[in-house]
Structure 1
């Protein structure tokens, strides 16, 4: 396993180095006509600080690059300037960008980022594990929210309720512990992203009273608290209970080299049909470990070249063996 990137260890203010992803959509009630309610879709953009692990969520309401820039501007106005943005090229993010008509390479976004002195880096395709620091959070939150809002589709959420719910979700996530809880009664409060952001040890107090499913059909503020309580219960069961030390990839292996004959993993084809190709370029990281390669394969009679992480290639013959 590689050393942590410099973004994760930089001594900078929170949200200086950020990973982002887009998730959703959900249907919300926009306004009422004489005949019925008008529904529209909403998405959310999650920004994750790579050093403090804090998260910030902004709701997007329009399918345009302008709406995404507005969300980015709201984030920068609240959290301050960002030096570096990171995101993956997975189907979720790329698909959301296409659905939102966001051109991450377009002149409008590039000009805005240039004015903000900010750079945007994309991980290699099919390598979401390289962005695990934010993929872990957004994958879990997406699963909980999708299941939660699917069950409560009859409550007719409004835009205001959804935005408030995202704020409650953000508070719950930022209150999670970053280090193991000590058994020492004299030990200080457990460190959390919220403590680093607010410089306050206490969590945001919840309104008095118990909130049940029946509250989803009452006043809007009770709807939000009922949904937030259900999110907390699933967050506690599906995330907090799994916090433990994980160690893997401790053994040293040979680097993939140019000229290696490989088998390229492809989840879109049936078994025994993975294409065989050759490594045409090995791309080393700063520690001289190769984690990305360019591979050439023949697909449907056409020679194609792909950029892939080494986790998606299986070396069949090394470069030295092919020359024998």
Structure 2
């Protein structure tokens, strides 16, 4: 291994988080497979996938505000940027979209939205969306 300082400058945040560039293709799912201890590389990949599964379930879900338990300051608005939560996909593969239309129920509370994505417009329930923080929300 080289001790050149340039080696460290070429590392991206993805190398520290997932062991490869963030735009690298996802590895095949290994979470439930039994790994021979000799296959160290596969074991490391299994650990990474376990980390991302927990991150998806525990952290990303926290971005979704639960208005049942919190004040309703963070209503979803037209134009908000959201992640479309997809159960069988890792978080880095979730689609990004922008709210284009909200559908309120008879009580006036919106529970469904149309989302514009790179692949077209989709309709999703609000419980399946994770609003992304904005600079306005932090001020």
Q: TM-score, normalised by structure 2?
A: 0.43
Whichever structure has more helix as a proportion of its residues is: 1
If you compute each CA radius of gyration, which structure gives the higher value, 1 or 2?
A: 1
Q: TM-score, normalised by structure 1?
A: 0.20
